[in-house]
Amino acid sequence: MASSTSALPKTRKKRDNKYKLKDLKALGHQLLSSRAHVNNLPLLLSFVSPASPPPHALESLLSLQSFFTPLVPDLPPSAASSLGAGAQADPEVIYRTWLRSKFDEFVRSLIEVAVSAQAEETLKEIVLDAIMEFVKMGKGGRFQSAIYHQLLHSIVYSSTEVEFLLELLSSKYLKYIDIRYFTYITLEKLSRNLETKDMRDDRSVADGEDGRDLKASIKRSISTIHYIISHVPSLNSLDEKSDCEMWSGSGDASGTSESLKPEVEKPKSEKHESSVLSATKIAKKIKLKFTKAWISFLRLPLPLDIYKEVLVSLPQAVIPHLSNPIMLCDFLTRSYDIGGVVSVMALSSLFILMTQHGLEYPNFYEKLYALLQPSIFIAKHRAKFFELLDSCLKSPLLPAYLAAAFAKKLSRLALSVPPAGALVIVALIHNLLRRHPSINCLVHREDGESEAKDHLKLEEQTAGNGNDSTGMLLSKKRSFDHFRDTEVNPVKTHAMRSSLWEIDTLRHHYCPPVSRFVLSLENDLTVRAKTTEVAIKDFSSGSYGTIFGEEMRRRVKQVPLAFYKATPSSLFSESDFPGWTFHYENGEKMDSNDDDITTNMTEDHADKSLKRQRVES
């Protein structure tokens, strides 16, 4: 077997040297001119290969495409179709069956060239155009879904880079409705096959070199499927003519493939109504296929980078176009339970399902509370998270203990986050106090009578016996905070027994915008008529750069100036450096030698030591 494989390139090289480009042109002309030269067909097919020189492959491709184009609609559906006793004796049927097998071989060769790493990009573009021309040349002008499925299957399972081919496919062909339709159908099948393959391989393949290669292959296929499914345009406006354009059929929304069949001819008065109806039906069918393709894709073991891209695109690119968005609940709740950045990115889609589609998620606020960590204030998607956090805490039906837990947790985080994070926290707490008056006790809390009596007794004991330990106990008693910062369940944090003392420390924050903004909490926020909510989006994407820019643009009315009653003659005064004299006048050094300075220093030190001895005596 090895000897035959090694001899194959040599045979091909001899054949390429034997046939020049003009010979291939002559063979193509003979094939197109008469059926008597049909034996040229296998020879030309052998040149449609990634190993052939590009001019030879291109010349053979053009000749074979011109030969098969008028014959494709009349060819039998498959070369393997069984022939009856009468059909076997019919030379025409045998001839067309043979042509069908050669056409299938030609299509496979074209796809092999398209996904090959050896072929040039110009040749790949011509090959893709030829394949797509055969796709729309089925019987009755219907879509050849089998050829298109072969193409996508080879692209998804290709072991080489197919980025150029994917860009061509998305830019030139995914704008047509029927291609979108069958793209979703094929991607659903490929996703299901990958899911089954991954489950089977997990049970059979160990973590060896073969297992790593297999996982890398599955990851590459998943990445390709994600590229295709995310670059298929959505049907936002079917009224436009461009959105109803078909690749196969008559070219409009009334003619399409097996699933989208041509409609019966209507009178002119009903033409507009029929076109609208057809567009509506097409939108429903594509939405169903869109939903199945995405649900099948989300069941795959997505790599982390693709996982994040999917979570970012779901709210705007996927959920509005699903036939039933609730089908995403398993994927989103599983993502939300992971924690960290993945949970933050899943929050947006989960919030849409809860508010717009009636999804019930009992542990939602507990998981949301667990996301409040210092790392969230430097995360990439923190702006969207803070806006969603503010929206989630907007409901007036929120229990007081839950609102208090979030307010206290945020105030504790204000002690360790950057200034931009402190600004967001003050804005969130401002809105919480305004929406939920029942937690305003956190702003100013007084001790109860029993606690006051205990404090009085401790003070009397401290004053009576002067016990330091009792004084320490009193200070600890007064500074005790009931809030449990490490508790992940907001019910058990005891936030209602605490206070927002951390916010008071922000009044002395080193960053002026923070210390100024925290003053807004001194207003009585329970009077809703005199106060307004703070727009979180104005602070959610802040950073050191934005704070610095705002301070630079800020017009200051009173600017502190350096004022001197007398013009200073030196940078430092003599009182700052005892024993030293600075002989400067009008910015120029006076003429004095180092001996004088040394003498003055010696005399000053002598006087000081003499005074010190007199005091000690």
Residue-level pLDDT at 379: 87
Q: In sequence order, which residues have a C-beta less than 8 Å from that of residue 305 and are 6 or more positions away?
A: none
358 Rama sector, left if φ>0, alpha if ψ -120 to 50, beta otherwise: left
173 or 206, higher pLDDT = 173
pLDDT at 397 over 70: yes
- What burial class does residue 526 get, using C-beta atoms within 10 Å of its C-beta: 0-12 exposed, 13-18 middle, 19+ buried? middle
Least reliable range by pLDDT among 68-82, 419-433, 536-550: 68-82
For 412-417, which contacts have Cβ atoms below 8 Å and span 24 or more sequence positions? 412/483, 412/485, 412/502, 413/372, 413/373, 413/374, 413/377, 414/502, 414/503, 414/506, 415/502, 415/505, 416/374, 417/374, 417/377
Three-state secondary structure call for residue 589: strand
Three-state secondary structure call for residue 364: helix
How far CA 362 is from CA of 365, 367, 601, 603, in Å, comes to 8, 10, 80, 84
The predicted-structure confidence for 265-307, as pLDDT tens digits, reads as follows 444 444 444 444 466 788 888 999 999 999 999 999 999 999 9
406 or 461, higher pLDDT = 406
DSSP assignment, residue 234?
P
Please compute, for residue 364, the number of CA atoms within 13 A of its CA located in the half-sphere on the CB side: 21
Biggest CA–CA distance in the chain, Å, is 141
Residue-level pLDDT at 595: 47
Q: How confident is the model at residue 521 (pLDDT cuts 50, 70, 90)?
A: confident
Least reliable range by pLDDT among 26-40, 248-262, 353-367, 407-421: 248-262
Q: Please compute the mean of the pLDDT values over residues 464-481 and round it to a whole number.
A: 51
Q: Are 221 and 157 in contact (CB under 8 A)?
A: yes
% the chain with pLDDT above 70? 73
Provide φ and ψ at 589, rounded to 5°. Answer: -75, 135
Least reliable range by pLDDT among 35-49, 97-111, 123-137, 236-250: 236-250
Q: Please compute the mean of the pLDDT values over residues 319-330 and round it to a whole number.
A: 93
Mean pLDDT (the chain) is 80
Residue-level pLDDT at 329: 93
In three-state form (DSSP H/G/I as H, E/B as E, the rest C), the secondary structure along 429-477 is: HHHHHHHCHHHHHHCCCCCCHHHHHHHHHHHHHHHHHCCHHHHHHHHHH
Q: What is the H or E stretch that residue 55 is in? A: helix 54-68
Q: How confident is the model at residue 428 (pLDDT cuts 50, 70, 90)?
A: very high
Residue-level pLDDT at 413: 95
Q: How confident is the model at residue 259 (pLDDT cuts 50, 70, 90)?
A: very low
The predicted-structure confidence for 574-612, as pLDDT tens digits, reads as follows 677 777 765 655 545 555 454 454 445 445 554 555 555
Q: How confident is the model at residue 214 (pLDDT cuts 50, 70, 90)?
A: confident
What DSSP string describes 100-146? HHHHHHHHHHHHHHHT-SSS-HHHHHHHHHHHHHHHT-SGGG---HH
- Token digits of residue 455: 């404090």
251 Rama sector, left if φ>0, alpha if ψ -120 to 50, beta otherwise: left
Count Cβ neighbours within 10 Å for each residue of 256-288 and write b for 16 or more, e otherwise.
Answer: bbeebeeeeeeeeeeeeebbeebbeebbebbbe
- Return the sign of the alpha-carbon dihedral for residues 217, 218, 223, 228: positive
* CA 233/CA 341 separation, integer angstroms: 28
Residue-level pLDDT at 31: 92
Q: What is the H or E stretch that residue 588 is in? A: strand 588-589
Q: Are 195 and 225 in contact (CB under 8 A)?
A: no
Q: Please compute the mean of the pLDDT values over residues 90-101 and round it to a whole number.
A: 88
pLDDT at 44 over 90: yes
Residue-level pLDDT at 278: 64
Residue-level pLDDT at 482: 87
Residue-level pLDDT at 81: 52
Least reliable range by pLDDT among 419-423, 501-505, 572-576: 572-576
- What burial class does residue 564 get, using C-beta atoms within 10 Å of its C-beta: 0-12 exposed, 13-18 middle, 19+ buried? exposed
* CA 80/CA 96 separation, integer angstroms: 12
Provide φ and ψ at 588, rounded to 5°. Answer: -120, 145
- Token digits of residue 6: 């090694």
Q: How far is CA 223 from the centre of its chain?
A: 14
Q: Please compute the mean of the pLDDT values over residues 442-467 and round it to a whole number.
A: 53
Pairing mode of beta strands 584-585, 588-589: antiparallel
- Token digits of residue 583: 């002989």
Three-state secondary structure call for residue 328: helix
Q: Please compute the mean of the pLDDT values over residues 442-447 and round it to a whole number.
A: 72
The predicted-structure confidence for 273-282, as pLDDT tens digits, reads as follows 444 446 678 8
pLDDT at 475 over 80: no
Please compute, for residue 592, the number of CA atoms within 13 A of its CA located in the half-sphere on the CB side: 15
Residue-level pLDDT at 76: 84
Provide φ and ψ at 571, rounded to 5°. Answer: -70, -40
Q: How far is CA 598 from the centre of its chain?
A: 72
286 or 86, higher pLDDT = 286
Q: Nearest 5 degrees, angle CA 232-CA 235-CA 236?
A: 125
* CA 395/CA 351 separation, integer angstroms: 13
Q: Are 475 and 533 in contact (CB under 8 A)?
A: no
362 or 240, higher pLDDT = 362
Q: Nearest 5 degrees, angle CA 608-CA 612-CA 613?
A: 120
pTM: 0.75
Q: In sequence order, which residues have a C-beta less than 8 Å from that of residue 548 and are 6 or more positions away?
A: none
% the chain with pLDDT above 90? 46
Residue-level pLDDT at 200: 64
pLDDT at 165 over 70: yes
pLDDT at 369 over 90: yes
Residue-level pLDDT at 564: 73
Residue-level pLDDT at 446: 62
Residue-level pLDDT at 258: 46
The predicted-structure confidence for 526-567, as pLDDT tens digits, reads as follows 777 788 889 999 998 888 899 999 888 888 777 767 677 777
Q: Please compute the mean of the pLDDT values over residues 442-452 and round it to a whole number.
A: 60
In the chain the first and final C-alpha atoms are separated, in Å, by 114
Residue-level pLDDT at 471: 44
